A and B are shown apart, each in its own frame.
Chain A
């Protein structure tokens, strides 16, 4: 009895140490980024990388936001931040709506070949981005959508639908078929059942889908760099340009501030809806 309590304590200490170490590995770069972004360039050059800033110097932040040079232009990240928003918001919305409808059909209105179709859709989750770069570029050109926000939205929707369909299908599979049958006998049609019975049950999985899609699309670099034009680049591409554009010495404080700005929206989404994320991922499994 005594021995087991001792070893239990030992394990617990070990686990906590490991977890703390892991957390440290993740948090250390963030710490460096934040402290560096508030330092002046002199302080960075002469001081210790881990030291706290002498004073809260926000000039790097305002420069990164509104006047840093990304390639030829010097408007900061602001225009690209809004570009990203204009790409991400519709893409997240559309892919979530389509995913919900797909999942609803694939789980509750099975038809001949629906399982095959679902499998084929799932396959979409495993296609690497690089593979479709050229054909997609040709398709966008053919549609007249090359270098446009609409084109980028389309690409992200197509890629996202595989994931959102998977989420919603697996969630809806746990909802008893008898509910659909009851609603059909009550006289509700395909969309009425979706709207009145399924949608009100869907908030956890909608949160999952939105977080997932938002993070994926906001963080995307490859599609952004390939399919965007000069005026439609997303923030990830602009960040890259900003860091690689040097006038004189490297401004680490501006780079760091810019990186944090670029990462901020996904962080906010996580903080606001994060607890629903885990809940939503497991909800379907427990319910079924």
Chain B
């Protein structure tokens, strides 16, 4: 059991408001990711859930019980820290058992738990070592073992993978996801890495300036971003934002001195509202080499002058300019080679998943 309800949570350090009224409803067993740029308040929010920091106002409920004023110990929460925070003078096995020891768990039970946890994380052979004799990945496992041993209601992960090298990070990411599937315990996970957020989460809370910008499934966040910030933050390479003049119910794109009209889903509405310019948000994978099997009113063909290409392996990112803005297109490797050779190519623009933002506020205007 471990549902978390956060209501109107605020936190200030002196005059600086770090959290400005956070509301989140996390279901039991859910994998929630808090993501955002540094300084957005995600770590403060996590520390507040853990009870490591006092909140200024608002409530935190775990399984319906108000824990806002309880000490970390009483909340039955375990946390994995960015620096792992293993006790340097204790062996791996004592690191894992320390929390149980402090909670006066019988010795036999502690031994069994340590054995189970170390087997689960494949660290049995490390039990007698000190943390200083472990590699980064091993420390990470021990830190997780320490959290698992307590069998808490909620796990908190504070950027747990950011100190690992790229390859190990991907491995551990998968492992954490498997672990969650197996244990089914609620996880709140802080990261600034949007790939981690997309791959791990059941739901994502995107934060900025102490506020939740959007709270939804990875699919919703990616395909239906609440505002320009969320759209920009999630996705790599990032979404293209092209300022366009509205002509009737269509958007005008200028490429190579020529003007093209793009049909969009909610063109009628734009026309009725009398909007003059909008920001068209379109993901790079919707600007591709021509694909004859994709057709329809929302599929267009435009020329694109390619300045640079970045081959990624499975696809190639091509950089060009429309309406004076740099845009990125996602081409097949073969089309990428051609674009590199010829410079000027024809691309296919599919606006079926495009989104529109207000040119000034960055708010969604077509949702």
A176 neighbours in B (Cβ, 8 Å): 83, 85
B98 within 8 A of A: yes
Which A residues have a C-beta under 8 Å from some C-beta of B? 176, 178-179, 181-189, 192, 196-197, 200-201
Q: Which chain B residues (30-81) contact chain A, with CB distance < 8 Å?
A: 47, 50, 52, 71-73, 77-79, 81
CA distance A200 to B82 in the complex (A): 23
Which of these, B50, B52, B88, B146, contacts A201 with CB under 8 Å?
B88
How many whole Å from B92's CB to the nearest CB in chain A? 14
How many whole Å from B90's CB to the nearest CB in chain A? 8
A188 neighbours in B (Cβ, 8 Å): 98, 102
Q: Which chain B residues (323-362) contact chain A, with CB distance < 8 Å?
A: none
Q: C-beta contact mask, B92-119 vs A, less than 8 Å → 1, else 0?
A: 0000001100110000000000000000
Contact of B89 with A186 in the complex, beta carbons under 8 Å = no
CA distance A74 to B89 in the complex (A): 53
How many whole Å from B325's CB to the nearest CB in chain A? 43
Interface pairs A-B: 5 shortest CB-CB = A186-B99, A200-B89, A178-B85, A187-B102, A182-B85
CA distance A196 to B91 in the complex (A): 12
* Interface contacts beyond A184-B52, A185-B73: sample of 5 additional A-B pairs, CB < 8 Å, sorted by A: A178-B81, A179-B85, A183-B87, A185-B72, A197-B87
Which of these, A179, A185, A192, A197, contacts B77 with CB under 8 Å?
A185
How many whole Å from A204's CB to the nearest CB in chain B? 13
Most buried by B among A187, A192, A196, A200: A187
Contact of A182 with B81 in the complex, beta carbons under 8 Å = yes
Contact of A178 with B83 in the complex, beta carbons under 8 Å = yes
B150 within 8 A of A: yes
Contact of B52 with A181 in the complex, beta carbons under 8 Å = yes
* Residue ID in chain A nearest B75 by CB atoms: A185
Q: Which chain B residues (213-271) contact chain A, with CB distance < 8 Å?
A: none
* Residue ID in chain B nearest A184 by CB atoms: B72
Which B residues have a C-beta under 8 Å from some C-beta of A? 47, 50, 52, 71-73, 77-79, 81-83, 85-90, 98-99, 102-103, 146, 150
Given contacts A186-B150, A187-B99, whether A179 and B87 have CB atoms under 8 Å apart is yes
Contact of A187 with B73 in the complex, beta carbons under 8 Å = yes
B98 neighbours in A (Cβ, 8 Å): 183, 186, 188, 196
How many whole Å from A192's CB to the nearest CB in chain B? 6
Most buried by A among B47, B73, B86: B73
B146 neighbours in A (Cβ, 8 Å): 182, 186
A–B complex contacts, Cβ < 8 Å, 28 sampled: A176-B83, A179-B87, A179-B88, A181-B47, A181-B50, A181-B52, A182-B85, A182-B86, A182-B87, A182-B146, A183-B87, A184-B71, A184-B72, A185-B77, A185-B78, A185-B79, A186-B98, A186-B99, A186-B150, A187-B73, A188-B98, A192-B102, A196-B87, A196-B90, A196-B98, A197-B89, A201-B88, A201-B89
Which of these, B47, B71, B82, B102, contacts A186 with CB under 8 Å?
B102
A181 neighbours in B (Cβ, 8 Å): 47, 50, 52, 72, 79, 81, 85
Contact of B79 with A182 in the complex, beta carbons under 8 Å = yes
CA distance A188 to B99 in the complex (A): 8
CA distance A200 to B95 in the complex (A): 14
CA distance A176 to B52 in the complex (A): 14
CA distance A183 to B87 in the complex (A): 9
CA distance A179 to B84 in the complex (A): 9
A189 neighbours in B (Cβ, 8 Å): 73
A200 neighbours in B (Cβ, 8 Å): 89-90
How many whole Å from B148's CB to the nearest CB in chain A? 13
B79 neighbours in A (Cβ, 8 Å): 181-182, 185
B102 neighbours in A (Cβ, 8 Å): 186-188, 192
B73 neighbours in A (Cβ, 8 Å): 184-185, 187, 189
CA distance A201 to B102 in the complex (A): 19
B99 neighbours in A (Cβ, 8 Å): 185-187
A186 neighbours in B (Cβ, 8 Å): 98-99, 102, 146, 150
CA distance A239 to B103 in the complex (A): 56
CA distance A87 to B345 in the complex (A): 91
CA distance A178 to B99 in the complex (A): 15
How many whole Å from B355's CB to the nearest CB in chain A? 40
